[in-house]
Amino acid sequence: MSREKIKILEMVQEGRLTPEEGLKLINALQDSESRESGRGGSSGAAGNRFDVPNIKLPKINLENLGEVAVEFQNSLVDTFRRTQRQYKRSKAARYTELKDFPVKVEVPDGIKRCNLTLDIRAGRVKVKGGDSGSPLIQGKVKNTPTEPVIISDVKGGKADVTLKHSIGRSGLKLNPDIAYVASLHNAAADAHFDLSSLDVKDLEIDNQAGNMVLQLGRREDRVEMDVRNNAGSITLHIPEDYALRLEATGSLSKLNLEKYGMELHDGVAESSDWDDNPRGVSIHLSQNVAAFLIEWKRRDGIDLRANGHRSEAEADLGVPVPDADDDDFEDEDEILADDDI
């Protein structure tokens, strides 16, 4: 019975079931288990306690998007939380077998470049650079009922690596000697990606309903990013000596970027040094009911905090932008200690 409920949760996270449908199925399984328990007594061996990871979907006040969008977001949050509470109370949650799985992918001979895809469903994830000469990927996925899927190949002189796992707590270190083109797919995980010591030229982010914090590094002069942010939250830390170009779907005037040292030209916002600075980050942003926050202390000392869901009215009223400091990358207890990686 426990495997059936896990499958339901995964189907909800993958979009194959709506949250309401998933909740109904879990309730039906719970009712069935209650009836069976009444007939069969309370016998059974104790097992591991299954702790469904917290899926943090922020309740966002999006006045400019209308009441329908706000109601949708808040309904999604409440439904996921009810589903989690119901699952934790269920009999199946007490008997799910959880395991720890090591993750290790060696660097193929002669390979210096890698197309890397990380596909995470839920839980907590921390990714950062490892030591020179280390495996391409090394780490561990903890407290998960299913083994992560690793697909590794060499195509066109590049390593092509995909790592997928459903739920649990994972810590991964990447080889800093490799140049990466990375695709990060996050369904509903709390994910921290410290890429400051890694060579990442192109970065694709697909965030459905998770919370993501990313720290970019300085090893590439120009970084291209394609960001799709559906109903989650993304905080992006940009090196202080980089210029910035931001192109977004919808009206950029609602971001009020001029107050943060950026200029609007035909729907594109650029920092004043974009044309002259040889180093910079170009971001194409597509988002719906979501939050997108840029943290960038420029060389002239100006702090840039461009919050993707603030309206002009909120900005004019002085509504503060949520803070995201560098401690997000230092709190090992929040994700995984180094000993766990």
Task: Give the residue extent of every domain in the chain.
Answer: 2-39+47-94, 99-340
Most confident of 43-47, 97-101, 224-228, 306-310: 224-228
Confirm if 148 and 165 have CB atoms less than 8 A apart.
yes
- Judge whether residue 332 has pLDDT over 70: no
Share of the chain above pLDDT 90, in %: 36
Element at 71 (helix H, strand E): helix 67-89
DSSP bridge pairs for 124:
169, 190
> Which spans in the chain are helix H?
2-13, 19-40, 67-89, 312-316
Write down the pLDDT at residue 155: 87
Q: Select from 290, 294, 314 the least CA-distant residue to 242.
A: 294
The SS3 call for residue 27 is helix
Mean pLDDT (whole number) for 219-230: 92
Most confident of 72-81, 196-205, 263-272: 196-205
pTM for the structure as a whole: 0.65
pLDDT in tens, 4-57: 666 777 676 666 666 666 676 676 666 656 655 555 544 444 444 344 444 444
Write down the pLDDT at residue 211: 92
Q: Select from 234, 174, 171 the least CA-distant residue to 204.
A: 234
Categorize the per-residue pLDDT at 207 as very low, low, confident or very high, splitting at 50, 70 and 90. Answer: very high
> How many residues appear in the chain?
341
Residues 6+ apart with CB under 8 A from 107: 135, 136, 159, 175, 177, 178
Q: Which range (148-157, 299-308, 315-324) has the least confidence? A: 315-324
**Alpha-carbon gap, residue 116 to 187, rounded angstroms:** 17
Categorize the per-residue pLDDT at 297 as very low, low, confident or very high, splitting at 50, 70 and 90. Answer: confident
Given phi > 0 = left and psi -120 to 50 = alpha, else beta, which region is 132? beta
**Among all chains, which residue has been given the structure tokens 């998007």?**
65
Counts of helices then strands in the chain (DSSP H, E): 4, 17
- Residue 273 exposure: Cα atoms within 13 Å on the Cβ side: 13
Given phi > 0 = left and psi -120 to 50 = alpha, else beta, which region is 207? beta
Q: Could you tell me the two tokens for 222?
A: 């120009």
